[in-house]
Structure formats: C-alpha cells, structure tokens
Chains A and B, each alone.
Chain A
Amino acid sequence: MISTDRTRKLLIRQKLGDGVFQVVAVVGIVIALATLAALIIDALVDGLPRIDWKFLTSFPSRKPAEAGIFSALVGSVYLIALTAVVAVPIGVAAAVYLEEYTNQSSRLSRIIEVNVANLAGVPSIIYGLLGLELFVRAMRLDRSLLAGALTLALLVLPIVIIASREAIRAVPSTIREAAYALGATQWETTRDHVLPLAFPGILTGIILAVSRAIGETAPLITIGALTYVAFVPDGLLSPFTALPIQIFNWVSRPQHGFHINAAAGIVVLLAVTLLLNALAIFLRNRYQKQYQ
C-alpha cells in the first residue's frame, strides 16, 4: 500500500523541481533579452544625441565632429535597390520553377533544393571571395556599386527563393485546377492567380532579404569597397561605400569621437533593419492567419 505521506512528499518535490526550473529558465531568457536590450540602449545613449540633419547630410571627415554619413547612406540606398532589382526577379522565378514547373520529386528539383539550403548556410564572407574573383577581377567591374550589388544579390538569393517557395506552396491547388479547367495555360495560371495570392508571402521574403543586405559588411569589405568616400556614386561603375562599412571604419579608429559617430550610424542602421524585420514578421503572421 502506498503511503499518502510519501506521495505527498513526492508531489512536493516534483512541484519544487518544476518551480526551480521555471525560475532558472526565466532568468536565462531575461539575461539573453537584457543583453540585447543593453546593446540597443548602449547604442542609443551614445549615438542618438549625435544624430541631426548635419550628420545625415555631411560627408566623412578627419574631424569626428564634422563627419557625417551622407555618402554611406546614399551608397547603401543605391546598393540595396540594385541588389533587389537583381535578386527579386531571379529568386521568384527560381521559386516558381521549383514549385509550379517541376515534379517535386524530380532529381533536378531535389538537387536545386538541397543546393539552395546549403547556400543559405555559406558564410557571407565566402560570397565576398566569389564576388572579388568573379565580378571585380574576371568581369572587370572593379570595386564598383554593380560588383557590390551582384555579390549581395547572390548572397540573399536563397532567402528570396526559400520564402517565395513557401508562399507559392501555400496557394491551394484548387485555384490552379480551376484556372486550368477554364483553359488557362500554365504561365497564365501562375501569373494571374498563383503569384498574386502568394504575393504577401513573397513580399515578406523580399523584406527579410533587403534587411539582411543592408547590414552585410564582410562581403563588401572583401570585394574592396572603400572605407573613406567623400562623394556620392554617379553610376553603376562608380566606387562606393555603405553604411555598415562606414560604421566599421569608425569603430576601428581609436578616437572616442569616431566611436560616437559609429554609435550614431548604428542607431540609423538599427532603426532601418529592425523596422523592416518587424514589418516582415507582422505581414507573415497576418498572412498565416488568413489561411488557417
């Protein structure tokens, strides 16, 4: 016969274990989140007072107090626009091919799928080495805006493909069959019915890709983007700098004044990337609910 006393003790021990674990877990999560909060607050405290109109519209300078991020900001905007122009059509087209045009179990489609998954895990600096050899040296684009954008486009392509595939896959097959039954060709079905329905999901992927590209530093340094640029790019083949490179340059200097500039640059960079990510995740969650 089981003594009620022992059972009670056992239950108390179990409850205690549960309670202790919950406290430990919550403390752990709070430590991780607090560190991330400290990171953002640290940058805000150091950088926010430095941000004014002059900081946003001045070129870099040897004097920290006169330096600004104008060339970096304009460089980043051009770079990201160009990256998106290259990566989005190719990425969406690849996703359409994989989801609509091949048999899911065909050999080619499986090879491409495994390949895309692997590419997503390749360190970004390796893309820099590829860009350096292929675009800067072999294609003689030099350290230009175009070379940078093509490198970043290859880097974010897996993100666009994976997100677009998920979005296209979520479109119910009844929609396709209805279109086919009315005599639409495969491309007409894809263009007029599947893609419009998959659009919010694809957009989420595009925003995530853009947000990733904005913060990427290592591949741009590897292809040789300049760290001190006192002009705005005037064409596809113009040398350029970008916001994260300008920040890196300032962080690497010993003077405190440049560290403040770096913090201010980080505040601008964080504001853009976190807003974009929040927008993407908001869109995705809303879209997911629509289908459930």
Chain B
Amino acid sequence: MMIRPKKSRRGEKIIETVLLACGMLSILTTVGIIGVLLFETIGFFKEVSIIEFLTGKEWTPLFVKKHFGVLPLVAGTALTSAIAILVAGPLGILTAIFLSEYAPARLRQTLKPILEILAGVPTIVYGYFALLFVTPLLKKLIPDLGGFNALSPGIVMGIMIVPLVSSLSEDAMYAVPRGLRDAAYALGSSRLQTAWQVVVPAAFSGITASFVIAISRAIGETMLVAIAAGQMPNLTFNPLVPIETMTTYIVQISLGDTPTGTLGFRTIFAVGMLLFLSTFALNLIGDFMRQRFRERYE
C-alpha cells in the first residue's frame, strides 16, 4: 500500500494551487495561439473570400492590384519540404538501421551524442550555409540555378532533420522485441534480411511517424528558407528558381513597415493559421502512429 502524505499544514493548499496554475499556463498558451490566429483570421476573411484565399494562384497582398491566393506560398513550402524529406528520409533510415542493427555499442554511444549536439545548431546558421556555401557549390553543377532557390535550402534542411528522423526511427526499431530478430536469425537470415524483412516492417508505424513529424518540422522551418529560398511567391515546382514559403512571408512582412491592424498585416495571421493547422494535424497523426506502435509491443 502507498503511504499518503499529510496535507493538513497551512500553505500546502496554496502551493498546490500555484503549481496547478503553472500547469494550466501551457493550456492557456494553446488557447492564446488559437485565439489570436482565429481572431485575426476572421477579420481577414471578412474582407477576402476564403475561396479566393485557398484556390487563388496569385499572392500580391501588398501590390496596388491585390491578390490573396495562398497557393504560391503553399507550393513554395511543399517544394522545400519535399526536397528536405527526400534527403532526410533515406539518410535517416539508413542511419537508424545501421545504428540499431549493425553498429557496435561503442560506435553507437559516440555517434548518438554527436548527432544530438548537432541538432542544437541554430537554423540561422544553416541558412548562412545554404546561401553562401551550398548554392555557389550547386551553381557549378547546375549553371541555371538562381542565387535564391528551393533546391539548396531544401537539401540543407534535409541534412538538418536527419538526426530527427534517425533518432525517432531508431527508437521504433529498438522497441522491436529481440525474439523476432532471433527467430529470423534462427531461420538463417542475414543481418540485412532481418533488418529489412523483419525489423523495418515491425517498426513501420514508428518509422512513418518519424517521417510525418519531420515533414511537420520542415513546413514550420523559417530562417533557413527565409535566407536562402528567396521572397518570390511563385506557383512552381521548379527547384531552381526563387520561391517564397509561408514562413518566409511572415518574416518578410514583419521586417517591413506594414502598419498593424491593416489587411496587409492580417495576411500574416491567415497564413500563420494555415501553417499552424497543417503542422498541428501532422503532429497529431505522428503522435497517434507512435502511440499505436507502443501499445502493440509493450
């Protein structure tokens, strides 16, 4: 039986209330985010039709002839995120399989903290690197490449989220019961066969979750694309030309002198709402998949 504490002394109740209030603050933060975005977005949609916003192909909110079609920003975000996941997915899975199935314990113990420390590099540093190192390098291979483009920040973002994909995938593979591996080995499988035909399928929902969470991270990434991808709302899937992502647009308006309370100012909240909803949905799906995976084995 558990020994319960006394709660009789004075002050105990006050302390508990204070602690509860601190816990509730996190809920208030969420309420605040949703409230603020909703408030300004509703103001925005009083003046701009939601159909135009979601289906329009031109984004020129600050021009004399205003268009509020968000698709160019969505396309820009989708493009950089897709390139990032094309880089991070294969590299992340390779790293995860290698670390969980092949690497000797000592190599694992050295590599994991290195990856973790590198995960702390501020994204503005990656932006500098993409703009002034990777883009000039890629230009030697692809002469048509613009000074701002989706390709270079996409690739750098991919490298940046490799640790995220690999550590979440590795956790999932690590949770696969040893018995499954032993059974595969007993039937004469090699390590590679065991990894690909037993461990990866068994950890599939966890690996998919790591992809979903990585995509969410890529969509919300700001400084890297703001520095290296350009500020040109461009409805294109050509990775060689300047584009603009949703996050970059918010940065661009914040740096400019758009007066607060105007329609132009409200656009950043409408774009922010779209950004919040997409990352929120992806995070929920990712968490759900991880949860399901855990229930199956524990």
Contact = CB atoms under 8 A, between A and B. Distances in A.
Nearest to B10: A185
Interface stretch (B61-69, B117-125, B168-176): B117-125
A157 B97 contact: no
Given A28-B94, A157-B26, A38 B133 contact: yes
Q: Which of B3, B22, B94 has the most chain A CB atoms closer than 10 A to its own CB?
A: B22
Interface in B246-261: 247, 250-251, 254-255, 260
Place the interface of chain B in its size category. Answer: 35 or more
Contacts of A14: 189-190, 192-193
A169 interface: no
A105 to B, nearest CB: 14
Contact of B133 (A42, A98, A270): A42
A137 B260 contact: yes
A21 B247 contact: no
B121 A121 contact: no
Given A122-B33, A130-B36, A266-B128, A184 B5 contact: yes
Place the interface of chain A in its size category. Answer: 35 or more
A187 B268 contact: no
Contact of B247 (A29, A123, A214, A277): A123
Given A38-B133, A130-B33, A177-B2, A29 B94 contact: yes
Interface of A: 14-15, 17-18, 21-22, 24-26, 28-29, 31-33, 35-36, 38-39, 42-43, 89-91, 93-94, 96-98, 101, 111-112, 115-119, 121-130, 132-134, 137, 154, 157-158, 161, 173, 176-177, 180-181, 183-187, 189, 208, 211-212, 214-218, 221-224, 227, 244, 247-248, 251-252, 259, 262-263, 266, 269-270, 273-274, 276-278, 281, 285
A95 B110 CA distance: 31
A187 B7 CA distance: 9
Nearest to A39: B129
B208 interface: no
Given A186-B6, A269-B122, A270-B121, 19 more contacts: A28-B90, A28-B91, A32-B91, A32-B162, A39-B121, A94-B19, A94-B25, A125-B247, A126-B37, A128-B250, A130-B29, A185-B9, A186-B16, A187-B16, A211-B120, A217-B122, A218-B247, A270-B122, A278-B117
